A and B are shown apart, each in its own frame.
Chain A
């Protein structure tokens, strides 16, 4: 059932939030032993919330737009009194001392938060294989990865273990797992959703967004979480766009640059089919050029690693996280706690980020990447003068097998 119908039926008393919640908790119990989408299922607090929702419904009190909808959150968003680990050993025992704005908004809209989902450690990766705790399987083919870093959230939707789930996207971490698992994912415009209470990876890129089994639910989820938040200085109130139900007369830009030609055959074929279907529905396809897009991955990698090396400096084992027992001095304690707590991918990115921010290399890497970022942005601005939307494949390949890409650091 769609989130929209669940919320409607719970509000009108046709179905009970408790029954829906039980149905999903039972399905997780039945299926997740094989998929491993959830790091933890919040049985108790989910049922308690569902009971509250039902009570409100029976008393005729107004209910939110997600009334009784089972929702899963990526394990990098704070939910007070619940564990949050970022799938890292360093935060293995961390209990959220407050609630993220996004989670707060979900609760206010009467969503039932059923659990926290697996991810690449600190959201660094594209297969969820970098989780310190377990590997999540792709529900469409359990030999394949679900994508990442929000792999658990995508898999939870694909296996119907949640109606809506949330992930975070820094360099594709919602879009790519959604594509790999065959579900819908939205990476909202940066700033449209508050990042307060989201464990920071690369602050100038991080953004929270939803997964769902259909675009209507995606839209509902987005409208529940968006908006300005005084606690996040980068958040903005964007004007609502006019609804367009009809694709007729819309101009769709398709890049003709080199990077788009590097797709594998399967993706190329599907992409061509998609273009044709949209054309048949009345859209106009217009070629565009994004000449600097070929630098996007390298640019992203430098910027994201640099920001990560700064953001992850806080995990020094003093205020939270694991604290090495071997340390003799304070300086040792920082180094050993990080050395013991972080996994290989996180260490690699901290090393690269620290390197590109260090004296002597700052201009050659970090500043250069910032400049290319400006060029990439200008390409998009130019393209949007001619087109309404831009269509590209989400990833150059479909889901790959476990271990297939683990030797490739990028």
Chain B
């Protein structure tokens, strides 16, 4: 499996992660190594196995959707890097 610099850039873009030129090189090489080890999994016979994303079986747990007041909204807002009154401030979304 070859992993090109373009592949690394595309993955970083999907992850919304800024990488330096050096990081791109490092992660490109490591990604290739790790993916290489994962090829070991091709030995397993998965022809009869179902994919399982749950540790306990996929039983949905439903409940009524009842809104509740969060105890301390100020504590939440305090963690925001930028705010104005009771709003979290972000950079312009549409230019």
Chain A residues with CB under 8 Å of chain B are 80-81, 93-98, 190-191, 204-205, 230, 233-234, 236, 292, 295, 298-299, 301-302, 309, 313, 316-323, 327-336, 338-340, 342, 344, 347-348, 350-352, 354-355, 358, 365, 367-375, 377, 409-410
For A373, list chain B residues within 8 Å (CB).
Answer: 51-52
Interchain Cβ contacts within 8 Å, total number:
160
Known contacts A319-B88, A335-B16, A351-B27; A369/B78 CB under 8 A:
no
Known contacts A323-B82, A334-B16, A372-B41; A301/B91 CB under 8 A:
no
Known contacts A301-B34, A327-B91, A338-B16; A98/B71 CB under 8 A:
yes
Partner of B18, one of A313, A335, A409: A335
In the complex, whether B6 has a CB less than 8 A from a CB of chain A is no
Q: By the criterion CB–CB under 8 Å, are A295 and B11 in contact? A: no
26 A-B residue contacts at CB 8 Å?
A: A205-B55, A234-B56, A295-B43, A313-B16, A319-B76, A329-B91, A330-B91, A332-B18, A338-B15, A338-B17, A339-B19, A339-B20, A340-B18, A344-B26, A350-B17, A355-B11, A355-B31, A355-B35, A358-B11, A365-B35, A368-B44, A370-B53, A372-B49, A374-B51, A374-B52, A375-B49
Known contacts A301-B34, A347-B23; A371/B15 CB under 8 A:
no
For A321, list chain B residues within 8 Å (CB).
Answer: 79, 81
Q: In chain B, what residue has the closest Cβ to A191?
A: B56
Q: By the criterion CB–CB under 8 Å, are B75 and A98 in contact? A: yes
Q: How many of chain B's residues have a CB under 8 angstroms from any CB in A?
A: 53
Q: By the criterion CB–CB under 8 Å, are A347 and B17 in contact? A: yes
Partner of B34, one of A234, A334, A409: A409
Q: How far is the CA of A81 from the CA of B38 in the complex (A)?
A: 43
In the complex, whether B21 has a CB less than 8 A from a CB of chain A is no
Q: By the criterion CB–CB under 8 Å, are B38 and A365 in contact? A: yes
Q: How far is the CA of A322 from the CA of B81 in the complex (A)?
A: 7
Most chain A CB within a 10 A radius of its CB, from B15, B30, B31:
B15
For A313, list chain B residues within 8 Å (CB).
Answer: 15-16
B interface: dominant SS:
loop
Partner of B90, one of A318, A340, A347, A372: A318
Chain B residues with CB under 8 Å of chain A are 8, 10-12, 14-20, 23, 26-27, 30-31, 33-35, 37-38, 40-41, 43-46, 49-56, 61, 63, 70-72, 75-76, 78-82, 88, 90-93, 95
Q: How far is the CA of A365 from the CA of B27 in the complex (A)?
A: 18
Q: By the criterion CB–CB under 8 Å, are B19 and A347 in contact? A: yes
Q: How far is the CA of A352 from the CA of B81 in the complex (A)?
A: 29
For A409, list chain B residues within 8 Å (CB).
Answer: 30, 33-34
CB distance from B18 to the nearest CB of A (A): 3
Q: By the criterion CB–CB under 8 Å, are A348 and B30 in contact? A: yes
Q: By the criterion CB–CB under 8 Å, are B17 and A351 in contact? A: yes
CB distance from A333 to the nearest CB of B (A): 6
Q: How far is the CA of A205 from the CA of B56 in the complex (A)?
A: 10
Q: By the criterion CB–CB under 8 Å, are A298 and B31 in contact? A: no
Q: How far is the CA of A313 from the CA of B79 in the complex (A)?
A: 17
Known contacts A295-B41, A301-B34, A358-B11; A371/B46 CB under 8 A:
yes
Q: By the criterion CB–CB under 8 Å, are B46 and A368 in contact? A: yes
For B78, list chain A residues within 8 Å (CB).
Answer: 95, 97
Q: How far is the CA of A369 from the CA of B51 in the complex (A)?
A: 8
CB distance from B11 to the nearest CB of A (A): 5
